[in-house]
Amino acid sequence: METATLPASLPSLAKKPVSEPVFAGSNALSARFHAAIPGGAHTYAKGDDQFPEHMAPYIVRGEGCRVWDVDGNEFIEFGAGLRSVTLGHAYGPVVAAARQQLDLGVNFGRPAVLELETAEEFLDFVQAGEMVKFAKNGSDATSAAVKLARAYTGRNLVGICQDHPFFSVDDWFIGTTPLAAGIPPAISSLTVSFRYNDLASAEALFSAYPGQVACLLLEVEKEVAPAPGFLAGLRRLCDQEGAVLIFDEIITGFRWHNQGAQARYGVRPDLSTWGKALANGFSLAALSGRRELMERGGLHHSHDRVFLLSTTYGAETHALAAARAVMREYHTQPVVEQLWKAGRQLADGLRQAAQEQGVAEQIQALGQPCCLTYTTRDTQGQHSAALRTLFLQETLRRGLFMPSLIVNYSHTPAIISSVLERLYEVLGVYRRALEDGVEHYLVGEPVKSVYRPRN
């Protein structure tokens, strides 16, 4: 395992100064954002309530793993584009491919040849089915998979993994969360759940609703790895019960393995959904799967026709050109290998620093190295929103934009070492907050959960 590049004496790392950012320009823009956009952002995970008060920067540009805000502050960013930017911001070959395509037109009244070329390359790249349909976001692709499973099986119930936080903005999923306003209970009642790494709970689902469950839907992996036999057990169970197995690879695809987490663990579903890193931040998602299912949305079958995915912008050519460039980079460069290597360096360095600062039980890296999150626990071992906010506050002060520890291909070993120097200081503040009380160090209110019924 790779280890972080850290000297034996970590306290000396705190001596390297980083100029502290100011947020006057961002704070001045906040009212305008909220006046024009509900929530002040087009994605709830990017909202002001997810960041420390008066420290929510508005971004003007990015390059590699760095971003700059309206105040001119520079940050080393993690989790770029909500995990969609795996190569780095403004990544040269991807930008060049998209720019070249823009001169040729982006949308036509008939399919562009580029749509076929990208579809064939994608299917060869991921090896996850015989057909693919492109869309603009993961929610649409996943909802299309659910619709296809219902049509194929003639069943209504959707079985989702309740341990995974998000599948779609559509009613069939959001109606199961605390944000169910505007969604009829009759729709929400058609979604049932099972637990991750608990094959018995999936078996119980089919027993409780015999002949009614159309599909099982889950992410292949989050912070906890699949237990031996779990994914294969779901595969066998769906085959036995006549249900469709759907893997949500929106996050894991293009991170765990070139062919997704399903290839890493050797279990293939009937349908897979892809997005995020597929086009390095350009808007593109995909639904792929077995021809027998996917053809239900086509023109050459005798079954009831499924209105699968039909979007005006689903095959914008510049996004497809970007995706082709991304796949070329993955073919020719060790992208996934580097994501795992950089993540290991970061996780190992954080672990060492947390031990030396006495907060190893509170601050821990979770998940696979290619997609790390972190804990912010109190002295009782419980999650603390206030301490998470303090961590965000102190990392922002030191030029780190760190809602997660998720690296991209542009995070070099030298950059990770620099990050670890700053994190050592942050963990010192965290330790003192545990000793003295977080209220002595945190400015403003704690961050809030996206999934809350009221503000």
396/388 Cα distance (integer angstroms): 12
Which residue bears the tokens 């989790």?
Answer: 79
Q: Do 150 and 243 fall into the same domain?
A: yes
């349909």: which residue's tokens? Answer: 133
Tell me, rounded to whole angstroms, the distance of Cα 397 from its chain centroid.
25
Query: How many structural domains compose the chain?
Result: 2
116 within domain boundaries: yes
Domain shared by 119 and 67, yes or no = no
Same domain (yes/no): 76, 118 = no
Question: Which residue has 């290839």 as its token pair?
Answer: 263
Q: Where is the domain boundary, 247, 280, 315? A: 315
Q: Assess if residue 101 is contained within a domain.
A: no
CB 199 within 8 A of CB 207: no
Do 124 and 227 lie in one domain? The reply is yes
* CATH for 298: 3.40.640.10
Given 260, 281, 315, which residue is the final one in a domain? Answer: 315
Please indicate, yes or no, if residue 233 is contained in any of the structural domains: yes
pLDDT for position 134:
97
**Helix then strand then coil, % of the chain, to nearest 5:** 45, 15, 45
Q: Let me know whether 78 and 115 are in one domain.
A: no
Residue 98 lies in a domain: no
Upper half-sphere CA count for residue 275 (Cβ side, 13 Å): 23
Residues near 30 by Cβ (< 8 Å), separated by ≥ 6? 40, 48, 56
The first and second tokens of residue 9, run together, are: 């004496």
User: Domain holding 74: CATH number?
Assistant: 3.90.1150.10
Beta bridge partner(s), residue 69: 59
The dihedral formed by the CA atoms of 297, 274, 45 and 88, expressed in degrees to the nearest 10: -140
Provide the residue range defining the domain that includes 55.
Answer: 10-90+334-440
Claim to verify: residue 162 and residue 235 sit in the same structural domain: yes
The set of residues, in sequence order, having a beta carbon less than 8 Å from that of 402 and lying 6+ positions away, is 77, 78, 79, 391, 392, 395, 396
Among candidate residues 326, 391, 312, the one with its CA nearest the CA of residue 359: 391
What does the alpha-carbon distance between residue 218 and residue 166 come to, in Å, rounded to a whole number? 10
Same domain, 289 and 163: yes
Domain assignment present for residue 153? The answer is: yes
Give the residue ranges of DSSP H helices in 51-134. 92-102, 113-126
Place of tokens 């009759």: 186
Is 447 a member of any domain? no
Cα 309 to its chain centre, rounded Å, is 22
pLDDT at residue 240 in the model:
98
Cβ contact 248:287 at 8 Å: no
Residue 2 resides in a domain: no
On whether both 369 and 288 belong to a single domain, the answer is no
What are the φ and ψ backbone dihedral angles of 248, each rounded to 5 degrees? -85, 105
Decide the pairing of beta strands 244-248 and 213-219: parallel
Hunting for tokens 């980083």 — which residue is that?
18
d(CA 316, CA 135): 9
Per-residue tens of pLDDT for the chain, all 455 residues: 333 333 333 333 334 445 789 999 999 999 999 999 999 999 999 999 999 999 999 999 999 999 999 999 999 999 999 999 999 999 999 999 999 999 999 999 999 999 999 999 999 999 999 999 999 999 999 999 999 999 999 999 999 999 999 999 999 999 999 999 999 999 999 999 999 999 999 999 999 999 999 999 999 999 999 999 999 999 999 999 999 999 999 999 999 999 999 999 999 999 999 999 999 999 999 999 999 999 999 998 888 889 999 999 999 999 999 999 999 999 999 999 999 999 999 999 999 999 999 999 999 999 999 999 999 999 999 999 999 999 999 999 999 999 999 999 999 999 999 999 999 999 999 999 999 999 999 999 999 999 888 88
Kind plus residue range of the DSSP H or E element containing 48? none
121 shares a domain with 247: yes
Question: Could you tell me the two tokens for 26?
Answer: 């961002």
| 3 state SS of 390 | helix
- CA pair distance 47, 299, nearest whole angstrom: 42
Give the containing element (helix H, strand E) for 19. none
Q: Cα(240)–Cα(250) distance, rounded to whole angstroms?
A: 27
Domain boundary among 315, 346, 368: 315
Ramachandran region of residue 133, left (φ > 0), alpha (ψ -120 to 50) or beta?
beta
Specify the pLDDT at position 18.
Answer: 58
Residue 414 in domain? yes
3-state secondary structure of 24: helix
Residues 259 and 347 in one domain: no
Instruction: Mark whether 115 and 256 lie in a shared domain.
Output: yes
Is residue 241 located within the same domain as residue 303?
yes
